[in-house]
Amino acid sequence: MDTSETMNGMQSALRHLADNWWLLLVQGVVSIIFGILALIWPGETLAVLVVLFGWFVLFNGAIAIVSAIAAATNHQQWGWRFAVGILGVLAGLIILRWPGITAVTLLLFVGFWAIVVGLTQIIGAIAHHDEVPSPWLLALEGAVAILFGIAMIVWPAAGLLTLALLIGIFAIIYGIIACVIAFRVRSLGQHLPTQGGQQAGPTPAY
């Protein structure tokens, strides 16, 4: 594959991401809203927190699967997105279908889920750095997830208030990074060459 074909492939991948930037934005906004709810309702019962987090994980997984399917239809890399999505959907369903879960069990389960998702995101950022705008942001998102997961696992005796605080802070930081990635992807898409080969504007350096 020569240089021109490689560049065309990269531009096609970036254009696909730019066309679906709103998926990342929705994911980020929902994460921030969930994080705020977890922080302003710290005294709610464990059952409420479990349901909220279960839906949060399930929704993020569904968004990742939709993004993976869109990437696959455009012949782009989709494996790591699909893996994150499947993990999210399965984790969300397990949490929602496990009404008797204890705070310690929830901490450990969520911790392992966050670490696996974070590792998958970092691997995706490294393996597909030429197709992902600002891959360091995706890697940062993965690192935040891993740190959150480790904190949940090494702090198994945390009470409900601490659990809500950890989950709320993680969700807000995770959501902010997702929103930043979404707007950077959208901005980059506006500066990509058109289908006719004309440059829409100077490409921003990220």
Of residues 55, 57, 165, the one with CA closest to residue 103:
165
Let me know: does 37 contact 52? Beta carbons within 8 Å: yes
Is pLDDT at 19 greater than 80 in this prediction? no
Q: How confident is the model at residue 1 (pLDDT cuts 50, 70, 90)?
A: very low
Q: What pLDDT does 203 receive? A: 47
pLDDT above 70: residue 33? yes
Backbone angles phi, psi at 199, to 5 degrees: -80, 125
Q: Tell me the C-alpha distance between 49 and 116, whole Å.
A: 22
Residue 157 has pLDDT above 90, yes or no: no
Which is higher by pLDDT, 186 or 132?
186
Query: Model pTM?
Result: 0.65
Residues 167 and 116: their CA atoms lie apart, in Å, by 16
